[in-house]
A and B are shown apart, each in its own frame.
Chain A
Amino acid sequence: MFGSVDFRQVRILTRFALKSEWRSASLRMRSSRKKMSRSWAYWTMVSYLGIGAFSIRLFAHNFSGDAYVTAAGFFMLYVAFISASNIFLSFGTGFLSPDESQIISMLPVGSETFFFSRLAVLITYTTTIGFLVSIGPFIGLQFFFRPDLFANLAFLVVSILTSVGAAMTVIALYGLMLRRLKPSVITRMMGYVQFLGSFVVAMSFVLLTRAEYSFDFHTFNITTEPLLALLPAFWFASLAGIVTGVTSGIYVPLAIGSIALLVLVAAASHLLLGKHYQNEISELSASASTSTKEKNASDRAAHAIGGGFLFRTYTRFARSFEARAVFMLLRAQFRYDTKFRMQLLATLPLTFVYLFIAIMSGGVGDPFTASIKQVARANLLYMIALLMPMMLMQNVSQSANYKAAWIFFSAPLDRAKLLLAVRNALLISLILPYMIVLAITFSFFMPVYHAIEHVLVLGAIAGLLFQLYIMMAPRMPFAQQRRPNRGNLAVTIGLSSLGIFAVALLGLEIYFGYRSAARYWPTFALIVTMSAVLEQAVRARVRKKLEQEEFEG
């Protein structure tokens, strides 16, 4: 079966791939190029440990019998989602890496050998994720709830298997897609699939969290709710349960099912991808350079969103060359670069999910008449709306094409004007339409004029926050290398503080300003005035900071 695989090459390729990926993930180039510092890989690991630590409470009263299997089932669902979404979202650059394929294609490495080396990297990666997320519950079980080392080690191993199994399932599904669809179609639809996927992932996490609080696992488990057995995560949980002696009824076949599933997805991914791996990558790579036909289709789609109209309007009012240039680039990237478009639209799934939560909790309360408790149902929705401009700005400052930003550094332009032009372009082309949609949505829950006034305040606070953020972290557009979780601790803390400040300000405004029109308009005007007053300070700070910024490429 593996006759054509050179395992010595697999070992070497895997070792070097892991080394290279770890280095690129854990070292961050600073502007002075030669200095490097610890970076996002460490924070990602800490966040996985944090998720695990947070999940310990799942087992506090559920460490034996049916309740344990159910708690473990929900936990395995977390693990599976984290692992699968990681692989899912980085698939194009990770598992099917055109860059690496180009390097390897010059060497005498067979397709299956290359496939197995990538698979080994993937298994290492997902094993690490599984381990980091599960170590917290393992410690909780071992030292607080159930001191049974063998059973708890089994839990840890099964969690890791779940993580690997989920990732392999994604690989197998991609393999199936590659068999059924043309590479060009896959390339085109990948951005949209990932966008929809992020809806599903965000929604799943929300539902999972709510499920934990809503059910007592001693009465709500696989034996009382057999439909849970349809979820593969519960098959793996059954495997962990058997080790602790939960062997009755449905658990044994489910545990066998988990092993069978692992074997099945491993065989499927080998069968669907293994032999044609290099070929698939080169075809995907070739189709990535957008054809004119695709470009036109994409163009039409972007026009449907409003790019053409907004562009014409904006360029008519844009006074500086910097503003016109930046909007031209933003528009082109938005039209042709699916990934960039999806990153800019990434706040939409969260908005949708938080709106859904608010509706499930009884709807969005009218902040002008409802009690604070009713208004607070939509707190998360308000938070995302207030932070949206900053999230957009972060996405615009980072780019996969950051080396092309040399043109901004070598052109005779006012860098402050350039950045402020980006801010204005985002305000007009994305934030304004978002706020209008939000107002329309709110109008289903409150009188139209309340919805408009409420969104005006949200927009004013978001604008004030946006100003503070730009002062705090001014960056040249498209000039930073894109890496997940990029940013230092200071910026992360700063962002969180701004978020808290924003919600507090909104709370104050609702409490004091929304009581009467006589209070509403002056307080609204006060917030807008604060933003306007800050403008000079923003310009001065941005100019000073950006003058010192050096090209990263």
Chain B
Amino acid sequence: MIDILHLSKSYGDTLAVDDLSVQIPSGEIFALLGPNGAGKSSTVKVLTGLMQPTTGVVRIAGFDVVEEPIEVKKRIGYVPENAILYESLTADEYLDLAGTLRHLDPDKLAERREELFTLFELSKADRKKLLAEFSKGMKQKVLLIAALIHNPEVLILDEPLSGLDANAALIFKEVLRKYAHEGGKTIFFCSHVLDVVERLCDRIAIINHGTLAAIGTPSELLQESGELSLERAFHRLTGGADIERSTEDILRALSQ
């Protein structure tokens, strides 16, 4: 469903993504992990059409993101890392905007909006409020609803659980699981919450300095790294500093 072939993205002289190749089939929940500045956001921005690749090919549902961006965007739902919305709109209006931009039939849009609002426990009064008045978690719920409202074939989620309360997070994770495994949809997931990734995702890719450091199921990554948790495996595969020594150094510096 998602084919990333030799993708590179550079900003001037800085190479953010370097020759990345990954194939993600339908019905899979796939996580892209990496330390800060590893190239995750650049990859996501290319997948979603916010930026163009410098070189390489990205195909979603068989469509090239550069050659046929509209066809690609029809098939994806996207939740960006930072909940940036038009705060002068109400939640209702924002979803109207998102749905209209996705060419949804107004009746269908209203029906889905209603169902998703109920699922995410946003009351009728909330829906009439300006987004400026929403908390971070409530804004995140609106973003999730906007990403799901057209029932996309591919969901691209950048830190989707950020700010959600425990109940909403639980429901959303279950929705994702069934959406992929029963609905046959593809989910591309970026997160720093590794225990969620470990439990939710079928396959994980770790990138470091823009290049692919490892790819496989959670158990394959644990096996490859010889560690017992994904957190430790991630640390080892991305060449992080020695944990014990770093901890001691920090505490020693503080006590001086």
Contact = CB atoms under 8 A, between A and B. Distances in A.
To the question of whether A and B form a pair in one complex, the answer is yes
A409 B84 CA distance: 13
A33 interface: yes
Contact of A34 (B14, B71, B78, B96): B14
A410 B97 contact: no
B11 A35 contact: yes
A292 B50 contact: no
B78 A410 contact: yes
A370 B24 CA distance: 74
Nearest to A294: B130
A406 B101 contact: no
A411 B102 contact: yes
Nearest to A551: B50
Interface in B158-203: none
B208 interface: no
Given A290-B132, A329-B89, A406-B80, A413 B12 contact: no
Interface in A406-452: 406-414
Interface stretch (A58-66, A147-155, A318-326): A318-326
B160 to A, nearest CB: 15
B129 interface: yes
B47 to A, nearest CB: 10
A414 B101 CA distance: 10
B103 to A, nearest CB: 5
A332 B89 contact: yes
A515 interface: no
Nearest to A31: B51
Contacts of B101: 321-322, 325, 407-408, 411-413
Contacts of A291: 133
A411 B73 contact: yes
A550 B85 contact: no
Contacts of A19: none
B118 interface: no
A321 B132 contact: no
B11 A32 contact: yes
Interface in B191-242: none
Interface residues of A, number: 39
A333 interface: yes
Nearest to B106: A324
A288 B133 CA distance: 10
B50 A325 contact: no
Q: What's the interface size class on B, roughly?
A: 35 or more
Contacts of B70: 412-414
Contacts of B49: 409-410
Most buried by B among A292, A407, A410: A410
Contact of B12 (A35, A329, A401, A412): A35
Interface string A325-365: 10011001101110010000000000000000000000000
Contact of A328 (B69, B78, B93, B103): B93
A516 interface: no
A404 interface: yes
A32 B80 CA distance: 19
B88 A333 contact: yes
Interface in B32-66: 45, 48-52
Contact of A332 (B12, B50, B78, B93): B93
B11 A550 contact: no
A548 B52 contact: yes
B136 interface: no
Contact of B96 (A295, A328, A340, A414): A328
A306 interface: no
B76 interface: yes
Interface string A525-553: 00000000000000000000001101101
B11 A404 contact: no
B112 interface: no
A328 B87 CA distance: 14
Given A34-B12, A290-B130, A409-B50, A403 B84 contact: yes
A371 interface: no
B82 interface: yes
A328 B100 contact: yes
Given A332-B93, A411-B101, A550-B51, A404 B85 contact: yes
A17 B133 CA distance: 29
A289 interface: yes
Contacts of A295: 130
Contacts of A404: 84-87
Interface of B: 11-12, 14, 45, 48-52, 69-74, 76, 78, 80, 82, 84-89, 93, 96-98, 100-103, 128-130, 132-133, 146
Given A413-B101, A551-B45, 6 more contacts: A328-B93, A328-B96, A332-B93, A406-B78, A410-B49, A412-B73
Q: Lowest 9 CB-CB distances: which A-B pairs, in order?
A: A412-B73, A34-B11, A411-B101, A336-B88, A551-B50, A412-B74, A325-B100, A403-B84, A34-B12
17 contacts: A32-B11, A34-B11, A35-B12, A290-B130, A332-B89, A335-B88, A336-B89, A401-B86, A401-B87, A404-B84, A407-B101, A409-B48, A409-B49, A410-B49, A412-B70, A412-B73, A551-B45
